Amino acid sequence: MNSKFIFRSILAVAVVTAASCKPELKTATPSKGNADFSRYISVGNSLTSGFADNGLYLEGQQNSYPLMIATQMQTVGGGAFSTPFFNANQSDGTGYKKLSGFTATGDPVITDVPAQAVIGSATVPGFGTVPLFTKYTGDLNNYGVPGIRLNNITLTYYGNLNPYFERLLPNTSPANTIPYLSFVTAKPYTFFSMWLGNNDVLGYATGGASVPADFPTDKALFAQLYNLAAGTMVKGGTGGAGTAKGVVATIPDVLSTPYFTTVTLKALLTAVQASAPTVQAIFIQPGSGAPRPATADDYFLLPLKAANVIGKPNAAGIPYGLHPLNPVESKYVLDKAEAAVIVDYTNSYNATIKSVAAANGLALMDANALFKSYAAGRVVNGAAVSAAYITGNLFSLDGIHLTPLGYAIVANEFIKSINSQYGSSIPIVDVTKYRGVKFP
């Protein structure tokens, strides 16, 4: 081997290495597949609006899953996406909850951030007084309306009763007459997401099944309305091409949210027994029948903790929750029978949603399965994420709605469903860029 050869080889090594200075990873070019994302709209309730910490406020809106999806869609031909943001000077919106510390025993201290966007109230004949929020006038892609049930979407007067909907409408309550479904389809669109139905079962559950008016929507009516909604949405809106693609989502199991899992019988008993070791039972007022000792199959609701009433004597001197004559009120308890109703209706609704999605060729995001998989905890890019209250990173301080990180996980699940149904390759969002519950 001569020196010339070695010298040439040295040059060759130099050339090879200089030519590849940075490590390269193969990237597939993002593709829209057989869908068209040029105008995407999102239809849904509080989860779609970005509601969090028991309120709708600017930061939550900025971290809504539809906005995340729309931003990612822009790499595959998606257009601009407008969210009905609160003004920056009213960024606290409807007000929300924040964590301000912990008690000596480790319980969270949660305080209210006051509303900034409440500008008055209106009287709706036959209904009562509703608050009014600062109106939003501008382009609209995120149509999420907190509180809306599926059986509200065809009501002509609903825009007068729900202030979150009213703020998107041209008229002031009680002068609105356009139903939600007509409103969202008034302009053409090419792609939609629809996550409706949660509130048809949620309100009854969070009220401890104590308000008969909140009873879940009839199953047959739900199926009829869901077919109507999906059948209308796939037409692409008034003045459009007559067709649109989309994604729908199932309803999560509300009983696995922190609202129902944080206050447990065991925790209540342990707290009481610290000062009264002989106490063996917590008495509850079930939905029907006489007060009885609670079992592990009954759910205590999150507000019971903040109410701080356990053990407080009533006028007759009987301690709250510790005696059949002063049981924990029905509004704080979802007893075993009531919980079974929630599960039954949720399952029925989800069967409907899945079959309607299949019949209309829509992508399906199985939120029920998604949240089930996170209930006991999963590790996401090194971060522990679970349904634990405050520390779980998934649920916000109201115990039902999500943190920005939770919404990012939802956005990615939507993106995966869309990609798999339509052969697109919308890139996922980086969930670690989003926060969990803020600690003081």
Interface residues with another protein (CB under 8 A) are 1-3, 6-7, 9-10, 13-14, 16-17, 20-27, 30, 75, 99, 101-102, 378-385, 391, 393, 412, 415-416, 427-428, 430, 432-433, 435-440
Q: How far is the CB of 387 from another protein (least distance, A)?
A: 15
- For 380, which DSSP code? E
DSSP string, 391-424: TTBSB-TTSSSBPHHHHHHHHHHHHHHHHHHH--
Question: Which letter does DSSP use for residue 314 in this model?
Answer: -
By beta-carbon proximity to another protein, the closer residue of 76 and 153 is 76
Judged by CB, which is closer to another protein: 251, or 437? 437
Contacts of 363 (CB under 8 A, 6+ apart): 245, 246, 247, 248, 357, 417, 418, 420, 421, 422
Closest distance of CB 239 from another protein, Å: 33
Q: What is the DSSP letter of 340?
A: H
Encoded amino acid at 324, one letter = P
In whole angstroms, the minimum distance from the beta carbon of 95 to another protein comes to 18
In single-letter form, the type of residue at position 294 comes to: A
Residue closer to another protein (CB basis): 55 or 237 = 55
- Dihedrals phi, psi of 68, to nearest 5 degrees: -65, -45
Shortest distance (Å) from residue 300 CB to another protein: 25
CB of 415 to another protein, least distance (A): 8
- Residue closer to another protein, measured from CB, 27 or 105: 27
CB of 247 to another protein, least distance (A): 16
Q: Which is nearer to another protein, 220 or 306 (CB)?
A: 306
Q: What is the DSSP string of 170-224?
A: SSPTTS----HHHHHTSS--SEEEEE--THHHHHHHHTTT--GGGPPPPHHHHHH
Instruction: Round to whole Å and give the CA distance between 84 and 37.
Output: 20
Query: Closest CB to another protein among 98 and 219?
Result: 98
